Amino acid sequence: MTSPLPSSSAAPVLDLAPVVPVVVLEDAADAVPLARALVAGGLPAIEVTLRTPAALDAIREISRSVPEAVVGAGTVITPEQVTACGAAGARFLVSPGWTDVLLTAMRASGLPFLPGVSTTSEVVALLERGVREMKFFPAQAAGGTAYLRSLAGPLPQARFCPTGGIGPDNAPDYLSLPNVVCVGGSWMIPAEAVAARDWLRIEGLARTASYLRAAGGTCR
């Protein structure tokens, strides 16, 4: 199993690139070439969501065969999934929301973790527990850039990776916010490109996404 990143803080993962690709794979055989394409395009942090039966195998294959990728597990909602993802080689964990039970399991794993929030109270509760990096989900439905901008004043210590409804048109708006470190999205992984195994197209889309930092975002 690949060694975890050195801190349970997700900051080292979020600082790698302005975009974290959110990957849903139906076939684990696509995992390695897809990961290689994303890394070649400048997006090394890859979130493989636990939405399909192939997810754990996909994480395992990327961990074994693409060491330059920082592969993580998304849609983690139970302590059992935390354990399974760690065993498969995940190097970080992402949840759509959180409970104390899930937070305890993620912290105990020793892996960097990114718990999901959509309200101010959830943000304050995580800050009380020493967590500064959070996933803002579902970003567009939960208030988008206006909501996040309103949090920057009273809660400047919180840093967000917004995910949900984000694409190339609105990603720069999110990245321009002082409390947004990066965004999550899947627009650089179109389903038809994966089905056609058009890894060069995905690499090109990933490279364009990796330039968003230089295009005006404040991702640090």
Active site residues: 47, 135
Tally of CB atoms within 10 A around 100:
9
Helix, coil or strand: residue 160: strand
Nearest to 69 by CA among 27, 23, 32, 112: 32
Q: Which residues make Cβ contacts (< 8 Å) with residue 140, sequence separation at least 6?
A: 164, 165, 166, 170
Q: What is the dihedral of CA 104, 110, 114, 116, to 10 degrees?
A: -20
Q: Which residues pair with 163 in a beta bridge?
A: 184
CB 160 within 8 A of CB 132: no
Question: Which conformational region is residue 11 in: left (phi greater than 0), alpha (psi within -120 to 50 degrees), or beta?
Answer: alpha
